[in-house]
Amino acid sequence: MKRILIVTGQSGSGKSSALQVLEDLGYYCIDNLPLALLPEIVAKLDHENNLEQLALGVDVRSTQADLQDFDAVFEQMKQHGSVDIIYLSTKDEQLIARFSASRRPHPLSNRYQSLNECIQQEKSLLLPVQFRSTVNIDTTDKSVHDLKHTLLSKLGQSDNLILILQSFGYKHGIPLDADYVFDIRHLPNPHWDLNLRKLSGLDAPVQEFLAENDQVNEMYQDIYHFLQKWLPAFSKGHRHYLTVSIGCTGGQHRSVYMVDRLKSALAKDWSIQILHREMKHWS
């Protein structure tokens, strides 16, 4: 078996939707398996079936002892292929809204009185799995279509490091799935130029405006040299994905420009995927 994905995360964050997307991508998917049985099942499937891609859904209904012993389970599964853990998370208020809308009980509702307590306890129980995660996805503002696009971006290649460059706007919240976050709100803002306001950082007039500023160029050089220095180390450490998020106020001009400029400079050496999180908000 060449590739094994463990899909887990907070209840209500989209695990079932992610597994449906992976099934469409050709993965053989199994959901709600006890953690302790994963190595045995993977070994059996590897021996009896000619599977190239396997996706396994795991949630908090596994026993606490199994969750605490996840490291041992993970090491056993690595004997049968490359293993990545996709961890889905969502902001608390959005999870509460989703459970209220669906009127479905939280998996821990028989142990704790309030929904908020269930959410906090689930985070704690899943920590051993989250610490091992190689792909983190914040689904707070993602539709099923957005989730599919993100999975396609992050699963594009299996062996080489994929650099995810993401622009975002602070007024819409910091992305939870970022490995590194750079704040560039201190740079000149094209928003205040009425001729540039409706454009984005992908448009030539905005790019020219920003490229003429010394602070912008210095910030670009700092981020570029940081990535050039450390990306080889991440790659040698067998990291498959690294998400670098760059934020400005609205996520339309400065962060988009910086992501596009970094992509152009780094694409000759690295596999790069681009995510402009706030594109749907652009005027």
pLDDT tens-place string over residues 35-87: 888 888 888 887 776 677 899 998 877 667 777 788 888 888 888 888 889 99
The CA distance from 76 to 198, in Å, is 53
The answer on 194 and 140 residing in a single domain is no
The answer on 150 and 167 residing in a single domain is no
The answer on 168 and 117 residing in a single domain is no
The answer on 175 and 43 residing in a single domain is no
Can you read off the two tokens belonging to residue 251?
A: 């996520």
The answer on 147 and 226 residing in a single domain is no
What is the total count of domains within the chain? 2
The answer on 137 and 187 residing in a single domain is no
Q: Residue 68's pLDDT is what?
A: 78
Question: What residues form the annotated binding site for ATP?
Answer: 9-16
The answer on 144 and 69 residing in a single domain is yes
| pLDDT < 50 regions, the chain | 157-158
Task: Specify which residues 276 forms β-bridges with.
Answer: 167
From 154, 173, 191, the end of a domain falls on 154
Q: Residue 13's pLDDT is what?
A: 92
From 154, 172, 206, the end of a domain falls on 154
From 99, 121, 154, the end of a domain falls on 154
Can you read off the two tokens belonging to residue 280?
A: 């749907």
The answer on 114 and 60 residing in a single domain is yes
The answer on 7 and 147 residing in a single domain is yes
Q: At what angle do helices 214-236 and 254-266 cross, to 10 degrees?
A: 50
Question: What residues form the annotated binding site for GTP?
Answer: 59-62
Phi-psi region of 14 (alpha: psi -120 to 50; beta: other; left: phi over 0): left
Which residues are within 8 A (CB) of 176 and not within 5 positions of it... i.e. 6 or more apart?
89, 91, 136, 138, 140
The answer on 137 and 8 residing in a single domain is yes
CATH number for the domain harbouring residue 63: 3.40.50.300
Torsion, Cα 164 168 170 172, to 10 degrees, reads: -110
Domain that holds residue 272: 162-281
| DSSP-derived secondary structure letter, 156 | S
User: H helices of the chain, where?
Assistant: 15-24, 38-48, 64-68, 70-77, 92-102, 115-125, 127-130, 144-154, 204-211, 214-236, 254-266
Question: What residues form the annotated binding site?
Answer: 9-16, 59-62
The answer on 96 and 17 residing in a single domain is yes
The CA distance from 33 to 63, in Å, is 11
CB of 142 within 8 A of CB of 168?
Answer: no
The CA distance from 84 to 262, in Å, is 27
Q: Residue 5's pLDDT is what?
A: 92
The answer on 171 and 145 residing in a single domain is no
Dihedral sign from CA coordinates of 59, 63, 66, 70 = positive
